[in-house]
Every structure is written in C-alpha cells, then in structure tokens.
Amino acid sequence: MDNITIREAELNDLDVLFEFKQELVDAERPFDPTLKPGPLYYYDIRKLIEADNTAVFVAQNGKEIIGCGYGRIEQSKHYLKHRQHVHLGFMYVAPHYRGKGVNSMIIDALKQWAKQRGVSEIRLEVYAENEPALKAYEKVGFSGILLTMRMNLDDDI
C-alpha cells in the first residue's frame, strides 16, 4: 500500500497545484459547453493558501503530491438553518491514485478543519454528468439537494 499522508498546502507547492488546476479544467470541459476555450483560472491558489477563512490540503505519497482540495468558510443564505458552511473545491486526485481513498482522506482533513472552526455544514458543486465524482462524493456521505439547469438560447454555446 502507498504511504499517503495529508497536510496543509504551502506556497512551495504552487507549481504542482497549478498543474492539477489545469488537469481539473481539462477533465471538466466535456461536462460544461459554456467554458471558454484555452487556459482557465478557476482558483487563485496562492490566495487560497494565504486566506484565513480557507484551507488547502494536499495528499502526498512520499514526496510526490498526488491530490488536493480546499475548504472555504462562507456565509450561508439567510433562510438556511446554518449561518455558515464550508464550500469544498479544487478536489483533484492524480489519475494513477484514483480509487485508493485519497479523495476521502482529503475530505476527512477538511471535515476536521471545519469542525475545529465550529462549522457543521459542508457543500460542494459537481457536474451532474460526472458520474465518477458523484459516486466518490456519495461514498463519503454527500447527497444532492439542488441541480442547476441551463438553457442555451444561442447557437454557439
């Protein structure tokens, strides 16, 4: 078995995390025809690492970084029972480590981080057609509550 550990990301991890960000964008493109062509920048990873209300965790096998994810404390809508929630994003595991529980380990670290800050609700977004991601999130306890739908009124999107 691999010797996988989870730790908070550091600024010297930025090069690897930038590669993961582009791989994540490439993996999500088939699910979203509204994404612009070319490189996309969903996240400012440096700001995520440095922010007080955010934690970025990485998974390592030895010295190799093999996965990542962040949690950010956000204010919830006024009509919800919880005042705040942690939004998860940038959930990525290198292809040859998928199916080994790495995503679950990262989510566990983010859950502990949320609990330490008194936040009991965690949310994330996932493309409805991304079956592997849906199954991975359901496996660790997530369930769907809302599906965002769209309609194209233009021929080019």
Give the DSSP letter of residue 57: E
Nearest CA to 69 out of 82, 84, 87, 85 is that of: 87
Residue 1 has pLDDT above 70, yes or no: no
Residue 60's pLDDT band (cuts 50, 70, 90) = very high
Boundaries of every domain in the chain = 4-139
Residue 31 has pLDDT above 70, yes or no: yes
- Best-predicted range by mean pLDDT (39-43, 114-118, 148-152): 114-118
64-75: strand order across its sheet = 4-8, 54-61, 64-75, 84-93, 122-124
- pTM here is 0.92
CA–CA distance, 67 with 23 (Å, rounded to integer): 11
Tell me the CA end-to-end span of the chain in Å, nearest whole number.
Answer: 45
- Reported CATH class of domain 4-139: alpha beta
Residue 92, pLDDT score: 96
Mean pLDDT of 28-47: 91
User: What Å distances lie between residue 86 and 20, 70, 125, 155, CA to CA?
Assistant: 21, 9, 12, 37
Classify residue 3 as exposed, middle or buried by CB count within 10 Å of its CB (0-12, 13-18, 19+). exposed
Residue 38, pLDDT score: 86
Residue 22's pLDDT band (cuts 50, 70, 90) = very high
CA–CA distance, 123 with 127 (Å, rounded to integer): 14
CA–CA distance, 141 with 139 (Å, rounded to integer): 6
